[in-house]
Amino acid sequence: MPLPPDTKIKNRTVFSLKTYATNLSLSLFLCIAFHFLSFTYAGKKFEEKDAYGQGFKEAIHAIPVNKVMLGGKMVRIKAGYLHGVTKGSVYVAYNKEKIIHPNAPTFVITNVRTFSSDGEVQCGSFSEDDLVIEETHVYPYKPIKIFCKASFLKDETLLKEIAEEAGKIPGFEITDIQKESDITLFVVRPKIVHSAPVYESAAHTLPMSYERESPEVWILPTTKKPSHKYLRIGMENTRQGIQSLLGNLRKMLHIREVKKIASPQHKTKAIDLQTIIMNPEDSCEGKSDCITLPNGKSFKKNGIYSPSSMEGKNLVPGQMITFLLTNNSANSLYCQLVNISSDGKIETIYPDAAHNSNAAMIKAGEILDISDEAGVFLNCTGEETIKLFATKEPFNTSLLEQSAYESKDITYYFDLHEAIHTSDTYTTPEAIINSFECNDWEIEHYSFYVKELKPLP
């Protein structure tokens, strides 16, 4: 049945919902690829957030100093390998003005564990509970190679500035040989008609350029033929445009790192992750395993799939997935699900941020139907990744989160993730993983694709 008529909706950062339908009670966190919508039910109160990162306030990943050691020469933070902390990265004292002063207290990470890291103080002093943020990140993987080109010689100065700034980002490397690159930054001047670039024909995947039009930077995959839709950054304001471009490139690197977080291949799986695919229905009337959302849309269970069955699977816009978790180990484990979307957004889909850490705990031998708590509503084409973190102690996945890419085209099929993540640089060295307390954590993940296929029956 539908939700009560007095249910209220307003804006906030995180959302979730509880909805009722014939023969099924369901609470969903809706993490949407295009419209990242989700709702939270509490006392008949729903809250909704705008789409595609608009109005999304970028999280400040401030971490408290957990311990001060050796007379102030060393500090410990409650963040480690699973949070993306890397050896050699520099952290600085956080202040509300968000200004990093030249003489601000800093430390360099010297030792990384699963859930915590130690740093050697380089400047100033720290006390317990002081907040710090990462100033410089060390990327432990082979750099992603970038090739830069432009349609016109008049954009040569802009192109050089872009290459210079992009080359300063650790994790990227500028190359003059396009065939050796992973991605291409292409300065074009497309004519926009009816809010879309003009192409010479439907067969062309790059737009026609005109010298009098405003410049844009298009981020393209080098290794495969691109689609019609790209990540586009306007350059009418050069400084602002370059900053937006650099921000998008950093988000790509972060996605690459989060996707690389893994557990040893030889480790026996403690958590069995199953994915339930649900198809849209006109109505739930007289149907089992069917739910009706607050917006009036109905969904019916289609099937249950293992991670290996979901890997590389093609789904279509309008479908929804939810989850079933089984703890096969002898220990209680904290389980959290994260979605990496095709629009660059990383968000925790279970448990809801409003819950305490115990909400994520699954006891030994327990089967937890996450369809009562979490799900992903698919509304945009592209690659989607689901990542399960199972740990023996509470784990804060909010440190992994980020907002969506900034782009002039919010309906693109973004295939760069596949281009930079399936190369030979993707595999995480086993030695890195085995250097941590592997019995304390486990990772399960898979990627699938949302594509425009035949309409669902």
| Cα 439 to Cα 22, 284, 392, 450, distances in angstroms | 42, 44, 8, 34
Q: What angle do CA 115, 118, 121 make, to 5 degrees?
A: 150
pLDDT in tens, the chain (457 residues): 332 333 222 222 222 333 323 333 333 333 333 333 333 222 222 222 322 223 334 556 889 999 999 999 999 999 999 999 999 999 999 877 666 677 899 999 999 998 999 999 999 999 999 999 999 999 888 899 999 999 999 999 999 999 999 999 989 999 999 999 999 999 999 998 887 788 888 777 788 899 999 999 998 887 655 544 568 899 999 999 999 999 999 999 999 999 988 876 656 789 999 999 999 999 988 888 888 876 788 899 999 999 999 999 999 999 999 999 999 999 999 999 999 998 889 999 988 766 666 778 999 999 998 876 778 989 888 889 999 999 988 888 989 999 988 877 544 444 555 555 544 444 444 445 555 555 678 899 999 999 876 544 4
pLDDT of res. 439: 65
- Residue 60: per-residue pLDDT: 64
Question: Which CA distances in Å does 378 have to 21, 72, 231, 318, 452?
Answer: 20, 49, 19, 6, 12
C-alpha–C-alpha distance, residues 223 and 207, integer Å? 19
Residues 81 and 120: their CA atoms lie apart, in Å, by: 17
* pLDDT of amino acid 426: 40
Report the predicted TM-score, pTM, of the whole model to 2 decimal places: 0.80
CB under 8 A, 24+ apart: contacts of 211-214: 211/152, 211/154, 213/189, 214/189
Given a contact cutoff of 8 angstroms between Cβ atoms, the answer to whether 45 and 11 are in contact is no
How far from 152 is each of 155, 184, 210, CA to CA, in Å? 6, 16, 9
Q: 361-362 and 320-327 as β-strands: parallel, antiparallel, unpaired?
A: unpaired
Dihedral Cα 445, 447, 450, 456, nearest 10 deg: -60
pLDDT at position 205: 75
Among residues 233, 225, 226, 273, which one has the least CA distance to residue 249? 233
In this structure, the strands spanning 45-47 and 8-10 are: parallel
Counting Cα atoms < 13 Å in the Cβ hemisphere of 338 gives 26
Same fold, 63-136 and 144-260: no
AA letter at 328: N
Which sequence spans correspond to the domains of the chain? Answer: 63-136, 144-260
Q: State the Cα–Cα distance between residues 19 and 195, nearest whole angstrom.
A: 37
Place of tokens 């990162």: 53
Question: What's the CATH number for 144-260?
Answer: 3.40.50
Mapped to the 3 state alphabet, what secondary structure does the chain carry? CCCCCCCEEECCCCCCEEEEECCEEEEECECCCCCCCCCCCCCCEEECCCCCCCCCCCCCCCEEEEEEEHHHCEEEECCCHHHCCCCCCEEEECCCCCCCCCCCCEEEEEEECCCCEEEEEEECCCCCCCEEEEEECCCCCCCEEEEEEECCHHHHHHHHHHHHHHHCCCCEEECCCHHHCCEEEEEECECEECCEECCCCCCCCCCCECCCCCCEEEEEECCCCCCCCCEEEECCCHHHHHHHHHHHHHHHHHHHHHHHCCCCCCCCCCEEEEEEEEEEECCCCCCCCEEECCCCCEEEEEEEECHHHHCCCEECCCCEEEEEEEECCCCCEEEEEEEECCCCCEEEEECCCCCCHHHHEECCCCEEEHHHCCEEECCCCEEEEEEEEEECCCCCHHHHCECCCCCCCCCCCCCHHHHHHCCCCCCCCHHHHHCCCHHHEEEEEEEEEECCCCCCC
- CATH classification code of 63-136: 2.40.10.410
